[in-house]
Amino acid sequence: MPAEETMPIPLDALLVGELQAIDERGTLSGIDKKPAPGALHLSATGFVGDRQGDLKRHGGIEKAVHHYPYDHYGPWRSEIGPVALLDRPGAFGENLSTSGLTEEDVAIGDRFRLGGALLEVSQGRQPCWKLNRRFERTDMARRVQQSGRTGWYYRVIEEGRVCADDVLALIDRRCPEWTVRRLWHYLYIDTMNRDALQEIANLEILPAGWRDYASKRLATRTVEDWTRRLEGVPEG
C-alpha cells in the first residue's frame, strides 16, 4: 500500500468521552464516547475534552488517539446479536471511526495527515475488562482479543485542529511489513515464534512495553498471563 496509491479515508465519526463510573466499585472510564460537537484541538496526549480514567493503561503519548474500524461492526452484530451499542460508532471507545481501513491495511509507523494534525500508528489495542462491562458480556474483551478486531492507537507527531469532516491521508510508511494484524498474530496466536519475537523486540518504533513482551518471552520461554486485563481485578 504505497502512500501515493491510497485514497484518503473520510471519518465516519470523531468521538470523545467524559468520565463515568463503569462498575459497582465506581471505577471511572471515558469509554463511552460521543460525537464531538465541532472542531477539536489534538494535543500530544489526545483530543481536548476526551478523558481517561486509568492514565497508567489508557491515553498518554503512545495512546493519544484510538481508531476502531466501523467495518467490524457487521461481524460483531452477526456474532453477538443486535446490541444497541453497535447501532453507531463509539461502541469500543474509539476516537476515530472509518470504513475501508482495517488492521490488515495499517502498519506500525504509518503516518496519516488528519486535518491540522499528523498521526503515527504506535501499537494495536490490548482490550481490557471494561469492554465486558460496556457490552454486559463477561467474555467481550477476550472475544475482541481472539478476533484480531482490536483497532489501534496513534501517537501525535504534529498537534492541530481536527473535525469530523476531515479525512485520513496516508503520507508515509515507516515499517509496512509490520501490520497491526501481523503484530496481533504473534502476540496472541503464534505466541512463541522466536524469529518473530526477536524482530518485535528490536522494532524500535514500537513502544517499550510491547518490545518488552517479546524480550520476556524469549528470556523465560513463557507467555504472560492476560487474565487480569481481560477479566478485571476482583474486589478487595
228 part of a folded domain: no
187-212: per-residue pLDDT in tens?
Answer: 999 999 999 999 999 999 999 999 99
130 part of a folded domain: yes
Give backbone dihedrals phi and psi of 198, rounded to 5 degrees, phi first. -65, -40
8-60: per-residue pLDDT in tens?
Answer: 999 999 999 999 888 888 888 889 999 998 999 999 999 999 987 666 666 78
CATH number at residue 10: 2.40.33.20
pTM score, whole prediction: 0.94
219 part of a folded domain: no
| One-letter identity of residue 45 | T
104 part of a folded domain: yes
236 part of a folded domain: no
193 part of a folded domain: no
CA dist 148 and 15 (Å) reads 22
61 part of a folded domain: yes
Question: Which residues constitute the domain of residue 126?
Answer: 3-175
Tell me how many domains the chain contains. 1
Q: Is the pLDDT confidence value at 2 over 90?
A: no
Indicate the SS3 state at residue 215. Answer: helix
pLDDT at 235: 41
200 part of a folded domain: no
Strand partners, 118: 113, 158
Strand partners, 161: 41
